[in-house]
Amino acid sequence: MYRIVKELLQPYTLFCLLAAGASVNLWRKRVESRRRLLFLSVPLAALVLISLPPVARLAHLTLEWRFKPRTELPEGNQALVALGGWSMSADHRRPRPLLGADSIYRCLHAAELYRRSGPCLVVVSGGVAQPEKGQPAVGPLMKELLVELGVASEDVLVDDRSRTTYENGLECRKLLSQRGVERITLVTNASHMLRAEACFNRLGFDVTPAPCHFDAGTLDASISTFLPSCDAAEASAEAAHEWLGLVWYWLRGWL
């Protein structure tokens, strides 16, 4: 009972349910105003829909279904490329800059592949994604973490200039073409891999995907699975971001 009450009283869940209940009540009582109520009810219904965990999972499945986890580097691999995500600058609460969660996931997976398959060339790619927020470049911070995780410092090349997935590919091509590297293993979030793999292939790399942090996991058989939540809404927004990015990259000829 406690778990059910706790799930129902989550602010996002509670207000979504209250708004939905109010909308249903208006439809029942104001028959003459139903056409105008559509302007309220349709966006509200869409918001509740994308906030449901099964819908968020389905959205990520459309991006992740073709990729499988990889625990070792393939034969013939010439370099391991880990794409950066975001970072946090130092402030009064943080004595030093920190990597964001997605960058950490990618570093952990890259370090695991490196340890399991033996030393190889590793490229970390990521500059300042949002300079207006004072964020530090992601690449150098990723190298620091990889070294702490056991990757030899001399095996790591750093791109600290790229700000987008396409720029990741361009900067990696500059670093690797002079070393004759074409076959790479690419590490990024599973939901980001579709765009990243297509982009790197377009730039002439032979890419083996090594995705991490799959978001389309299994659903728990609990009441929270069928309640709107801010986590599910955020996951749906992330999937929408990726699909919009795919369309934009296709229009630009980057895929």
> Which amino acid, residue 234?
E
HSE-up of residue 12 (Cα within 13 Å, Cβ side): 14
Structure tokens at 148: 């702490």
| Rounded (10°) CA dihedral 239, 186, 83, 158 | -170
Cβ contact 157:175 at 8 Å: yes
18-32, 82-96, 122-136, 176-190 — which is least confidently predicted? 18-32
- Hey, how many other C-beta atoms are within 10 angstroms of the C-beta on 176? 20
Handedness of CA 63, 159, 206, 105 (dihedral sign): negative
* Structural Rg of the chain based on CA atoms: 22
Q: Which tens digits make up the pLDDT trace of 28-48?
A: 776 657 677 788 888 888 999
Above 90 in pLDDT, residue 79?
Answer: yes
**How much of the chain exceeds pLDDT 70, in percent?**
95
Contacts of 211 (CB under 8 A, 6+ apart): 64, 67, 68, 69, 70, 187, 188, 189, 190, 193
Q: Give the predicted TM-score (pTM) of the model.
A: 0.89
Q: Which backbone phi and psi does 221 adopt, to 5 degrees? A: -85, 75
Residue keyed to tokens 């799959």 = 214
Structure tokens at 223: 């009441």
